[in-house]
Structure 1
Amino acid sequence: METLKARKMKKQPSPKNSKDVNKPQRLQSIDALRGFDMLLISGGGTFLVLLENNTGLAWIDWIAGQLKHPAWNGFTFYDFIFPLFLFIAGVSMAFSLNKGIEMGLSKAELYKKAFWRMLILVILGILDKNQPVTFFEPSQIRVASVLGRIGVAGFFASLLYLNFSRLHRIFWVAGILLLYYAALFLIPVPGYGAGNLSMEGNLVGWIDRNFLPGRLLQKIYDENGLITQLPALCLTVMGSMAGDVLRSDRKEGKKLQILLIAGIAGIGIGLFWGLHFPINKHLWSSSFIMLTAGMAFLILSLFYYVIDVLKFQSWAFFFQVIGMNSLTIYLAYHFIDFEHTSHVLFAGLYAPLPEQFHDALEALGALILVWSMMYFLYRKKIFIKI
């Protein structure tokens, strides 16, 4: 992991230099969308959840309900948050890998960089999900994690990106999702048989219980376990395709058209597939992957259109500050007790209000503090990347 000091802005390239003119520029929409997503992953919406049933406002209760995962089958907006980040990682990967190629890096060097990034994220994920780490009780260490999933998906998506055309990557995605679908319906689970998609009898949980070392988050399975990594990485692969569209020399309208068509198609396939293979985040079902990929194409097209095409950018600054330091805010929320600091600093301000609002206001204060920390790093041009 390295700390990068952002360099001073260079003069704009001369239009006479065609190479500079055609070189893809950094898209603010990607940083903003990443920041919006990472804020929710890190717990930035907690104060809204804590307001549920306390305000008498139906729309707040509805939003709070959308920021919780269903117990098993079903879908809420909160189910979309992590898949969206995997998708955005693929979008960014298309830019970073091509930048590496333009700098003269070999495939071997790019493989090595992706591998070390994966390894570091896996280690950070273990540290994050085990506080404190039970070094002398390895059976109590949770190996699966959000960061680990991002690292593994990024590594294998990089291998596919560097070695296969866009069409062949579509075939890879289709093949993985179809094989995963077939495996869950055709491979019998001891004691339950084949095609059992219940919480207790599905193939995913059986594999986690028997082959994933350490502690499982849900006891009988882990939502970021072993074979669910296969469908999950498809989101990053599809994100890389969206990244190719954005970095291409097509006109803006054509880029939007492709993203919109891909989004509508993905949602349609996901909903239709869900009639037989239920939409389920715990299983990372193939229908769930296609639904969230379609949604990701659409929300990316919206952010791109508003921020980079129409140039309505001031509103997105709040999210860009987070998006440019996404790993930092994720780890900061998990290792720094912002809620305690919020209580110390702000409890006197909200003390006169009804007690049912105190926890929500404390969480809001924590959000203000963590964003202030991100803003400080942004002003100092300190961006922590892997």
Structure 2
Amino acid sequence: MQGRTPFHSPLALMSSLHPLLPQCLYQFLAFVPPSNESLRKPGTASVMVDTQRPLTLLLNSSVGDRDLCKIQYHFGEFGNYSLVVKTLSTSTQTELGSPNTTDSLNCDPTPQSWSTGSRRRLRSLDTFRGLSLVIMVFVNYGGGKYWFFKHESWNGLTVADLVFPWFVFIMGTSIALALGSMLRWGSSKWKVLRKILWRSFVLILLGIIVVNPNYCLGPLSWDNLRIPGVLQRLGFTYLVVAALELLFTRPDSGTWEGQFPALQDILPYWPQWIFILVLEAIWLCLTFLLPVPDCPRGYLGPGGIGDFGKYPNCTGGAAGYIDRLLLGEKHMYQHPSSGVTYQSTMPYDPEGILGTINSIVMAFLGLQAGKITLFYKDQPKQIMSRFIIWGIGIISAILTKCSKEEGFIPINKNLWSISYVTTMSCFAFILLLLIYYLVDVKKWWSGAPFLYPGMNSILVYIGHQVFANYFPFKWKMQDSQSHAEHLTQNLTATTLWVIISYILYRRRIFWKI
């Protein structure tokens, strides 16, 4: 922690345990020299503090032996904090973290995170991201060949269908926390926009060139290059949601003064909500109104032998038609999950164009979780109550009629239907609530072992794809029909990536794009 002061007399900085804990005498931390007015340099001093317990910082002046400021705070591990002390006429102003406050005595801290330099990192976000990633890796490696670790053939959910939208959700939450903090620490919007464009470009490029399942068709060439993909969808979704947030975010995340304070995390961003609603209207219109050759309008089925074989070449309805029309059949995923059960022969891409609209909606709902965290900072009860409200699945219940097949819009991961998005976001809000309560509020759980891959998610995701067929992540099995052997191999491979991420975490190596 660094202290800076424009005072003309030296100051002493001392610390003690928080008053709610057993009383302790103040311990001297640092001597802050007076500022040099001729060089216009404030006096500075750097100190290290214990983060295990809350502390009380006391700043006093050697002139008159008077206390200037007392701040109570629980500092986060590996945080970087600045305590700024100013003289405003005859009063003293202190700021811990963000210099945007206006009170004459402000003890509201805004700590710095590793990645953006402004807020204490919420371990629950990394834990949630890591949990999603670990399940994703296990599923991609085979999930022990159990059916519930395979994607649902069409409508419905399995464990495998949960993790990707959760990953998108947390990406949206991180956007809300990161963009505001970068602006608070002096980055211009143009500079932040360049970072957004670059990160999106790199994610899309990595998805097309490095993580491309059409490698199995032979050497990668334009003739069979799969254009959509997981990283491509993440990159484009990030671009849209981050750019949208950048237009309306403010350097400070203070409370909104309006007629409806209970909606302060929504109403200030009504243009964003209009944009998202328009996007969703586009998805609904294209899905249900676009004419598809030789298919009924608004068809949401798998084709093949589904629907008694009436529409064998209509897999995915408008979503499949748009992809085949704009991308070409050879540039799509060639083995959709619907082919196993419904014997559909048409290429269909679960990361296609139309579904990307709803992945943007999913990330935007994650962005909403981030806004809640910002607006109600240091108020965990408010944050958790808002998460509970957003976790109520009324919209999903209406859209699906609480059934798998009979609803207006069934839950479908291949289509990324709006009911799928609303259901997954409800799950995400509730799961984030539980992790937030255990990790950041009560501190009963450190987040391990999911915290470690969550902090190196891009490296783990790309690494597990690239090295999937190499030892020790894969080896020849004695009995390829044995669940036990598959489970052992898949758990071993997944555990190895958790260990790798832990080693990188210990060495402070984090791959950021």
- Give distance in 1, aligned partners of 2:469 and 2:437: 35
- Name the structure, 1 or 2, with higher relative contact order (CA <8 Å, separation 6+): 1
Unaligned 5+ runs, structure 1: 1-7, 53-64
Residues in 1 aligned to 2:424 and 2:487: alpha-carbon distance in whole angstroms: 29
Q: Is the 8 A contact 1:178 1:286 kept in 2?
A: no
Between Structure 1 and Structure 2, the one with more helix by share is: 1
1:340-365 deviation digits (Å, cap 9, x = unpaired)? 22567x99xxx9xx965223212222
Q: Secondary structure at the match of 2:186?
A: coil
Q: Determine the C-alpha separation between the residues in 2 that align with 1:27 and 1:9.
A: 12
Q: In structure 2, how many angstroms separate the alpha carbons of the residues matched to 1:136 and 1:332?
A: 19
Partner amino acid for 2:463?
A: A
Deviates more, 1:280-289 or 1:157-166: 157-166
1:373 is matched with which residue? 500
Give deviations 1:105-142, integer Å, cap 9, x for gaps. 22222221111111111111112114379677412011
1:9 is matched with 78
SS in 2 for 1:17: strand
Q: What corresponds to 1:49 in structure 2?
A: 144
Counterpart contact for 2:468–2:474, Cα < 8 Å: no
* Structure showing greater Rg: 2
Whichever residue aligns with residue 331 of structure 2, its letter is: R
Name the CA distance, whole Å, in 1 between partners of 2:139 and 2:155.
25
* Alignment correspondent of 1:238: 365
Counterpart for residue 128 of structure 1: 211
Matching of residues 86-235 of structure 1 within 5 Å: 86-126=168-208, 127-129=210-212, 130-131=214-215, 137-164=221-248, 165-200=268-303, 201=314, 202-213=317-328, 214-217=330-333, 218=336, 219-235=346-362
Q: SS in structure 2 opposite 1:383?
A: coil
Matched with 2:62 is none
> Could you tell me how far apart the structure 2 residues matched to 1:337 and 1:193 are?
41
Q: TM-score, normalised by structure 2?
A: 0.65
Shift of residue 305, structure 1, vs aligned partner:
1.0
CA-based RMSD: 2.6
* Compared CA separation, residues 304 and 96, structure 1 to 2 (3 A): same
> Are the counterparts in 2 of residues 339 and 363 from structure 1 also a CA contact under 8 Å?
no
Q: Give the secondary-structure state (helix, strand or coil) at the position aligned to 1:175.
A: helix
Structure 1, 41-50 or 276-285: larger mean CA deviation: 41-50
Residue matched to 2:109: 22
More strand by share: 2
**Within 2, Cα distance between the matches of 1:356 and 1:205?**
34
Native 8 Å contact 1:32 1:317 kept in 2: yes
Q: How many residues align?
A: 357
* 1-structure distance, mates of 2:483, 2:437: 40
Query: 1:67: how far off?
Result: 2.1
Following the alignment from structure 2 to structure 1, what is the Cα–Cα distance between the partners of residues 471 and 221?
A: 30
**What is residue 323 of structure 1 aligned with on the other side?**
454
Q: Deviations over 1:268-325 (max 9, x none)?
A: 20221122112111111111111111111111111111111111123x2100011000
- Distance in 2 of aligned mates of 1:67 and 1:360: 11
- What percent identity do the matched residue pairs reach? 27
1:17 aligned partner, one-letter code? E
- The correspondence for 1:273, drawn from 399, 404, 408, is 399
Structure 2 contact 467–473 (Cα < 8 Å) conserved: no
CA separation in 2, counterparts of 1:70 and 1:355?
A: 22
Equivalent position of 1:361 in the other structure: 488
